[in-house]
Structure 1
Amino acid sequence: MLLALTRQAGGRSWRLADACAACAAATSETAVVPDTLLGARRPKPAGGILRRARHGLSPGPDERARVREMLTYLSATLPQFTSPAARLLALQCALRSDTRGHVTVADGMLRSMRLRGRRELWLELAQAGWLETASPRPGSVAVRLLDATVLDQAPGRGARRRAAHWALHPTPLVVPAAAPAVLQLTALALASHTLRTEDLDAVSRLCGHSPQQTMELLDRLVSARTLASWHHHHDTGEVLWQFPQQLPQCSADRTAEYCNPRRPERR
């Protein structure tokens, strides 16, 4: 895996993410960050992570960043027509796999994702050459990932599993469990961003949608009260969204348009 820097919105923003050499070369306005002599960050003590989970506090930036980076990678490696449900399943498998690419997904987790018994999703990922199913086991599904880049992930399995767990309930944008996978994937893509603003094309790529589909799904998230509002800035291509429990805070350097994002018109 390489560290790649991608320019967005004409240079107004930049995105730093892990990517394979092929993905970095295929992505426009992207440069590979050279290796340095800086050591890796010291791991956070497990006690802090346990306290955060015990008291129901929001996840740290690592979980969000790891999910966003994996969604970015899957958007490049999976076929564009891959269904949202299959993308959510691939995300969980990639984050939970061991160093040999083996992962066992329990029926309980599949049931919580409303994907239990969806054999066509496993077949969809298998036909894409991304995984192969192993011998069936009672109460679970065992698979082996065939993507060599996924097998070479730098974060430890514990850190990746925490990110996978957060992806099942991506606060603060948790949609009802009965919501279709396309809405769950869109909400997850938005929740993985810390700044609540991103280039519309970038959000669309994370979900495998067209920009027009993404805007329609943002409307549906507002109707479901998962989002408070959203606004698309046509001159920059950026989309800004607001969470229901987080009101925009105006400041002298922010325009009224950002401080009072207009709700999408009803169709």
Structure 2
Amino acid sequence: MSEISNAIATRDQGPAAQIEAYRDEYAALVPSHINVDQWVRLAAGAIRGNEDLMEAARNDIGVFLRELKTAARLGLEPGTEQFYLTARKSKAHGYALIIKGIVGYQGIVELIYRAGAVSSVIVEAVRANDTFSYVPGRDDRPIHEIDWFGGDRGPLVGVYAYAVMKDGAVSKVVVMNHKRVMEIKARSDSKNSQYSPWNTDEESMWLKSAIRQLAKWVPTSAEYKSEQLRAHAEAIGELASVASAPLPPQPSVLDDVDPDDEGPIEGELVD
């Protein structure tokens, strides 16, 4: 076999080629509105452009392909702020790098919109020089004023999230201060890793901390939405009032793949 043929054979066994090999399996998992060709290109491009991710994918291709399955089931774009692909040192792999997928805040926002119950989702970080006011029971939503042209907004001090439902009602408002976000960060096994979004994209992880809590109070899938609306209607005995009544806390499609208040578990990836 020529050197060129050998190079092609080696390349064809690589992670990007494996993604293509499992294309039909991913196509069966992604929601119908997802363009499978584009999804596969995103997944392959994410590792081709990052040496650490390519090394991690090669170290355990099975773990990598399994993480992509999670992104496919959720209908999120791998290698983006919807679904981060991160290289993680794994004790179970002799501290070699492996890939771990992390649902990002934009991915959770996408799931909420896709469920069809909300007209808008607001999730914003608050910085020291912003003006912020919110009194539960008095205000239906926070008042957040930013001087966009005043220079440095200062360090992050908090984050909030809420949704406006299709009928105009405002969901539960989630407000988190610095201490609360740091408690969530402390639970992440990846917090000290140079590859973690906590260190590469800190503000996005603050936003995720808030939107992940909001996901308890608004539907994240059409299936859960219909089930919860029906159960809620039966509980209050008035179907017509379901639209204007706030939904109770509910299951989320994120519960299995992105446990609430838990960071990625280093080296212990469970199907």
Q: TM-score range by the shorter chain?
A: under 0.3
User: Which entry has the higher C-alpha Rg, 1 or 2?
Assistant: 2
Instruction: Tell me the TM-score normalized by structure 2.
Output: 0.27
